[in-house]
Amino acid sequence: MTRTALVTGGNRGIGFAIASGLTSKGIDVVIGSRDAVAGRDAAHRIGARSVQLDLQDRASTEAAISQIDDVEILVNNAGVLGTGDLFSDDAQFKASMEVMVDGPYHLLKAVTPYMKRNGYGRIVNVSSGWGAFSDGVAGPGAYGVAKAALNALTVSAARALPETIKINAMCPGWVRTRMGGSSASLSAEEGADTAIWLATLPETGPTGMFFRDRERIGW
């Protein structure tokens, strides 16, 4: 049986590596991209599908979900890094929360009813050590605050969802992408490994936890 996965921000970087890795496992992958052309190009390269998806636009989110067959795997990967300090830019704070908290929340609301009926679901929230209280909620601007909120959403959703739906957060580490920069220590494929593992967990797999390098880490 072929399962369907939606990977947000899957047109480049870690998201593309996740989409490619899931496709290689025989999963029907849909790349969600704000830039429709970039999404189509990325999907074509790996034999996936694409859908235009702007997490700052509720209508776009609803339209995207309506175009996809029932989603059994959701990877909330899309993110914005931002610059400056927490209070330097109201629009930046708003965008961070919309893309990394509100968007994932509404996608969860949209896809989990089918997962419940189907008795199967895997959800991966691509977070960051910068969103961990154990690491001081670091990062530029509102990035750490948004990732901390995404972590909290992961914990709360795990309580609200049945055991047949596994939802976990993960930190990919410092990855060589447009966001991470060329000096980062990990390739996109290395950064994507834990997300792919969590997206394909067996029935006995964990839920409501935070991982890096397939190892549980503190919130």
Positions marked active-site: 143
CA separation for the pair 138, 92 (Å, rounded): 16
**Burial class of residue 46 in the structure, from the number of CB atoms within 10 Å of its CB (0-12 exposed, 13-18 middle, 19+ buried):** middle
CA separation for the pair 62, 15 (Å, rounded): 21
* 61 within 8 A of 107, measured Cβ to Cβ: yes
- The residue count of the chain comes to 219
CA separation for the pair 204, 102 (Å, rounded): 29
List helix spans (H) across the chain. Answer: 13-24, 36-46, 58-66, 90-97, 103-118, 143-160, 188-199
Maximum distance among all Cα pairs of the chain, rounded to whole angstroms: 49
Sign of CA dihedral 123, 126, 129, 132: negative
The encoded tokens of residue 176 equal 């060589």
